[in-house]
Structure 1
Amino acid sequence: MKIVRQKSDLRDLTHTWRRAGETIGVVPTMGALHAGHLSLVEAAKSRTDRVIVTLFVNPRQFNNPEDLAKYPRTEDSDAEKLAPFDVDVLYVPDPDQIYPDGFATTISVAGVTEGLCGATRPGHFDGVATVVTKLLLQTDADLAFFGEKDFQQLQVVRRLAADLDLKTRIVGCPTVREEDGLAMSSRNLRLGPDARDSAPVLHDILQSAAEALSRGAPTTDVLDDARSRLVAAGFTDVDYLDLCSDPDLTPMSAATGPGRLLLAAWLDGVRLIDNVAVQPTG
């Protein structure tokens, strides 16, 4: 696996692969890799000839400077985790390769960004959309792999790729969970022992609420009960707990079609997100 930091060096490699008729897959990350990321790498390996994993902690998608400062930087251990997967390139761009002096362009996606994390983290998805667009162009990828845990982000990336006529096809991959059901996330490392023990109840509550909604239970009652259960379990704030249509994330008053129940809540000073599918039965 080559570690590349300059886009010119990366393009030398991708041009060589293109001349050989090879396809390229990319897994964009901010590092602190876990089994969820590695499942995306496995998916990329199974569907493309060459695989690039990107590692860039993107300052433009952080609303809180403290959150950015706390975000783990673990390049060496990330490279070790990738070694068994025979990845072709770990692209760790220097900051000026993404945001050179005078950089003045922002990609802003409407619609799917307007609720959920878009409402509670102003500007977050502008930062995501801008850096992902740059990474897709720099890597010249045919396929890009994103996890469904960040479901709103996945829809944002799909929208920008379609709207900007990017050649890269966006592939969503299932959420990977710990044995106790907690969705894998680099943020989980920041939970204290007691909070980590409590955290799996988030998915349990989300799953039971989704099942109730699928059976036709009143949405307001189900969501109010779920919020109360979260608070009782030690979650200090619930940023949102919303039923939305899949894939356009329009708010739904009842589970009348394919939907997602999406949640962001705080535990031990850590913001956790998760989502589950809601499909009406009967």
Structure 2
Amino acid sequence: MPVITTKKELQRHLSSSPNRASLGLVPTMGALHPGHAALVRQAVAENETVVVSIFVNPTQFENNEDLDKYPDTFEKDILLLEEITKDVVVFAPTADEIYEHRVQSKTYDFEGLDKVMEGAFRDGHFNGVGTIVETLLHLVAPDKAYFGEKDFQQLQIVRKLVAKKDIPVTIIGCPVVREANGLAMSSRNGRLSEALRQEASFIYKTLRAAKKKFGTKSAVNVMDWARKQFEGHPDLRLEYFVIADVETLTPIQKKKPEVKYRAFAAVYADGVRLIDNIALN
């Protein structure tokens, strides 16, 4: 399995590849888990060549403390990938290599997709996401790129980026992979105690209950109900619970039968920020 650390080496490797007929990209920030593995497996099944990037992007973090706490499990990540296949190409650059010694994000107009939910609480986050995704898409030039639906807002922003920049790639959204108790798999879950990991399963339980209620109750009623549920779980601090249009991510005002909706939640568990979402109709 080639592990490549520079842009020039990556481009040289891809240009010399005999199986360039179909190329897939799985962008990650490392600390890989079965959710990432599912993305890689789908990419491998659908493409002749697959690049998995492992890069902790500093411009996605609001502060250095959160960046410093992000787990570094590179050796384990490689072992996980090798269990799937040894045919993927791993691209693991440094920040200086990606940003050419000037670590700064671009500014994008995502037409409001970045102003709600995550964007309302993480200033500049999606400019950082856009910067690294655009860089990787131009560098790798994949036919398909794979993103998990756990970060559904990010997925929609990537789709908007590709459309606005006219980048010739198909963005594939892959279903959320969950732990046995329903907790959405995340690199951050490793920072939770076992007790909190079990407690955090309440997030998904609430989302599923909200989906059931959404069929018969008003959206406002459902959101108010969901928010109140967290009052009985002091170890879980709810940051937001929002029902939004899946295309525009605009928070719902009144149900429209032709519109698809999702419920989104962000919750702190002992300082660890967890997000999840569910399709409602």
TM-score range, shorter chain: over 0.9
| Fraction of identical pairs, as percent | 40
CA offsets, 1:154-192, max 9 Å, x none?
001010011101112110000000111110001111112
In structure 1, the residue corresponding to 2:276 is in which secondary structure? strand
State whether residues 23 and 50 of structure 1, in contact with CA within 8 Å, keep that contact through their aligned partners in structure 2. yes
Distance 2:65 2:274 in 1: 16
User: What residue is the counterpart of 1:262 in the other structure?
Assistant: 264
State whether residues 235 and 265 of structure 1, in contact with CA within 8 Å, keep that contact through their aligned partners in structure 2. no
Unpaired runs of at least 5, structure 1: none
Q: Which amino acid aligns with 1:136?
A: L
CA offsets, 1:73-129, max 9 Å, x none?
111000000002224211001222211135666041332111000011010000000
Distance 1:20 1:221 in 2: 53
In structure 2, the residue corresponding to 1:228 is in which secondary structure? helix
User: What residue is the counterpart of 1:234 in the other structure?
Assistant: 234
User: What residue is the counterpart of 2:41 in the other structure?
Assistant: 42
Distance 1:21 1:67 in 2: 38
User: What residue is the counterpart of 1:276 in the other structure?
Assistant: 278
TM-score scaled by structure 1?
Answer: 0.94
State whether residues 14 and 20 of structure 2, in contact with CA within 8 Å, keep that contact through their aligned partners in structure 1. no
User: What residue is the counterpart of 2:213 in the other structure?
Assistant: 212
Once the two structures are superposed, the pairs formed by residues 167-186 of structure 1 within 5 Å of their partners are 167-186=168-187
Distance 1:160 1:208 in 2: 33
Aligned CA RMSD, in angstroms, stands at 1.5
User: What residue is the counterpart of 2:32 in the other structure?
Assistant: 33
Distance 1:267 1:101 in 2: 35
Unpaired runs of at least 5, structure 2: none
State whether residues 243 and 262 of structure 2, in contact with CA within 8 Å, keep that contact through their aligned partners in structure 1. yes
State whether residues 216 and 255 of structure 1, in contact with CA within 8 Å, keep that contact through their aligned partners in structure 2. no
State whether residues 113 and 249 of structure 2, in contact with CA within 8 Å, keep that contact through their aligned partners in structure 1. yes
User: What residue is the counterpart of 1:62 in the other structure?
Assistant: 61
Distance 1:148 1:207 in 2: 16
State whether residues 243 and 253 of structure 1, in contact with CA within 8 Å, keep that contact through their aligned partners in structure 2. no
Per mean C-alpha deviation after superposition, the further-off stretch among 246-255 and 167-176 is 246-255
Distance 1:93 1:152 in 2: 26
What is the count of residue pairs matched by the alignment?
Answer: 277
| Cα gap change, 1:204 to 1:255, in 2 (>3 Å) | farther
Using the TM superposition, give the Cα deviation of residue 227 of structure 1 relative to its aligned residue in structure 2, in angstroms: 1.2
User: What residue is the counterpart of 1:95 in the other structure?
Assistant: 95
User: What residue is the counterpart of 1:148 in the other structure?
Assistant: 149
State whether residues 227 and 238 of structure 2, in contact with CA within 8 Å, keep that contact through their aligned partners in structure 1. yes
Distance 1:272 1:57 in 2: 18
State whether residues 44 and 51 of structure 1, in contact with CA within 8 Å, keep that contact through their aligned partners in structure 2. yes
Using the TM superposition, give the Cα deviation of residue 235 of structure 1 relative to its aligned residue in structure 2, in angstroms: 4.4
State whether residues 27 and 144 of structure 1, in contact with CA within 8 Å, keep that contact through their aligned partners in structure 2. yes
State whether residues 216 and 254 of structure 1, in contact with CA within 8 Å, keep that contact through their aligned partners in structure 2. no
